[in-house]
């Protein structure tokens, strides 16, 4: 018997698929996106260099923004395509920013700051969607990840609707069938899913790794005060998995019991009366507690050993292709192949339903009000 929540999720998937078909008619399909590397070489030759310079300053001030900006590119691309619409604001609180999955999103000011510098350099030339894509690339690079070429030439949309974000972004309690459906609607396959989920490698920086090296393998002992995770999640997305997985006050059986016990110490059950889960929205846990292995591949070792933080992470183990990929990367002796796959998957995601040519607009500020 399906729960009401599963029916609701199915409905979201149907809405997401229908919306993608309709929107797909008005924008470029992922395979044929007319983007190019170095699109601004004639119109704003210092654009990419400027983004990198500004990103260095931004991350020097707050390195926790690196994973947030990578996540922003994913949330932008999955909702009406990579069109910068995540930056738009609504006075009525009805824009993408106001949607539940985006309430924990950070980095809007960073994008606006980069945009302001580019506007001084080359007014009305570089789109917000491209700035988000370049900032995500530089966030990865400046966090000791790979540096890849980013295709540019996207233009910005001027529509932003909270409901689209709620329908198009998979919730953290998604199983592998749900995840595959959400991603296939965006022309991303099982391998892309497994690769992109590894973005959580950004959550384990060398400083953080040093903190956890002293911890027993695969186990998060606590969130030591001297440690700063740059990739975090609030407790809310995992409370159901820890305390009420099937509605019978149970724990997800696929979650490693020792890891679950540690998570429970950090994330107590929602208290009676805390109906809006406000506690779960303030407490934070690292996305990837690390294991003493190479920082960049540790996400896969972590998922394999513990079932991951979110149900959607653990779901990678329930499909032959995604499981095969997790096992391959977890056992790899070098990150090179993963880095290559990561670059490929990011470029592919960056082509999702883009606006180009005379579609959309290039506005002087990214975060303008839509109402």
Which residues of this chain interact with ligand HEM, rule CB under 6 A?
Answer: 67-68, 70-71, 74, 104, 106, 170-172, 174, 179, 196, 199, 202, 231-234, 237, 287, 310, 312
Tell me the two tokens of residue 286: 């690292």
CA quadruple 260, 198, 5, 17: dihedral, nearest 10? -170
- Measured distance CA(97)–CA(87) in Å, rounded: 7
Cβ of residue 232: shortest distance to ligand HEM, in angstroms?
5
Cβ of residue 307: shortest distance to ligand HEM, in angstroms?
14
**Nearest residue (CB) to ligand HEM, 50 versus 203:** 203
**Nearest residue (CB) to ligand HEM, 36 versus 62:** 62
149 annotated binding-site participant: no
Tell me the two tokens of residue 122: 């080359």
296 annotated binding-site participant: yes
| Catalytic annotation present for 218 | no
38 annotated binding-site participant: no
Identify the active-site residue in 75, 218, 234, 302: 75
Start-end of H helices in 198-235: 206-213
98 annotated binding-site participant: no
79 annotated binding-site participant: yes
Q: N- to C-terminal Cα distance for the chain? A: 42
Tell me the two tokens of residue 124: 């009305």
Q: Label residue 250 exposed, middle or buried (CB < 10 Å: 0-12, 13-18, 19+).
A: exposed
**Nearest residue (CB) to ligand HEM, 100 versus 210:** 100
**Nearest residue (CB) to ligand HEM, 85 versus 233:** 233
- For residue 11, the tally of other CB atoms under 10 A from its CB is 11
81 annotated binding-site participant: yes
Cβ of residue 170: shortest distance to ligand HEM, in angstroms?
4
Give the torsion sign (CA, 223, 285, 234, 202): positive
Start-end of H helices in the chain: 4-24, 47-61, 65-78, 108-121, 128-142, 162-168, 176-184, 190-197, 206-213, 236-243, 257-266, 278-282, 298-306, 311-314, 320-330, 336-349
- Measured distance CA(197)–CA(195) in Å, rounded: 6
Tell me the two tokens of residue 259: 């890891």
Cβ of residue 169: shortest distance to ligand HEM, in angstroms?
7
> Are the beta carbons of 78 and 150 closer than 8 angstroms?
no
**Nearest residue (CB) to ligand HEM, 104 versus 125:** 104
190 annotated binding-site participant: no
Residue corresponding to tokens 């199983």: 175
**Nearest residue (CB) to ligand HEM, 323 versus 363:** 323
Cβ of residue 108: shortest distance to ligand HEM, in angstroms?
12
Which residues are designated catalytic?
75
Known binding site for Ca(2+): residues? 76, 79, 81, 83, 85, 96, 288, 296
Known binding site for heme b: residues? 228
């Amino acid at each position: 018997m399906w729960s009401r929540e599963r029916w609701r999720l199915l409905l979201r998937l149907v809405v997401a698929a229908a919306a993608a078909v309709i929107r797909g008619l008005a924008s470029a399909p992922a395979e044929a996106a007319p983007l190019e590397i170095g699109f601004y070489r004639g119109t704003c030759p210092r654009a990419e260099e400027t983004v990198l310079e500004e990103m260095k300053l931004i991350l020097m001030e707050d390195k926790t923004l690196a994973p947030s900006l990578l996540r922003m590119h994913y949330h932008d691309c999955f909702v009406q395509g990579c069109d910068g619409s995540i930056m738009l604001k609504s006075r009525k609180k009805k824009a993408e920013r106001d949607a539940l999955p985006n309430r924990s999103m950070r980095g809007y000011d960073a994008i606006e700051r980069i945009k302001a510098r580019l506007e001084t350099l080359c007014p009305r030339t570089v789109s917000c969607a491209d700035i988000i894509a370049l900032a995500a690339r530089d966030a990865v690079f400046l966090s000791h990840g790979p540096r890849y070429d980013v295709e540019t030439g996207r233009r910005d949309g001027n529509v932003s609707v909270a409901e689209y974000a709620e329908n198009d972004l998979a919730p953290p309690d998604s199983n592998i069938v749900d995840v595959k459906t959400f991603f296939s609607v965006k022309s991303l396959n099982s391998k892309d899913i497994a690769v992109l989920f590894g973005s959580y490698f950004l959550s384990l920086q060398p400083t953080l790794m040093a903190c956890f090296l002293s911890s027993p393998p695969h186990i998060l002992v606590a969130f030591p005060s001297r440690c700063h995770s740059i990739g975090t999640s609030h407790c809310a997305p995992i409370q159901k998995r820890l305390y009420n997985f099937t509605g019978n006050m149970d724990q997800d059986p696929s979650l490693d019991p020792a890891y679950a016990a540690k998570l429970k110490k950090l994330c107590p059950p929602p208290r009676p009366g805390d109906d809006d889960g406000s506690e779960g929205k303030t407490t934070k846990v690292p996305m990837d507690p690390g294991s003493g292995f190479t920082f960049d591949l540790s996400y896969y070792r972590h998922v394999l050993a513990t079932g991951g933080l979110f149900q959607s992470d653990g779901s990678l183990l329930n499909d032959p292709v995604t499981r095969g990929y997790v096992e391959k990367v977890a056992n790899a002796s070098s990150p090179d192949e993963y880095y290559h796959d990561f670059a490929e998957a990011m470029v592919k995601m960056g082509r999702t339903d883009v606006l180009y040519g005379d579609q959309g607009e290039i506005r002087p500020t990214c975060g303008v009000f839509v109402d």
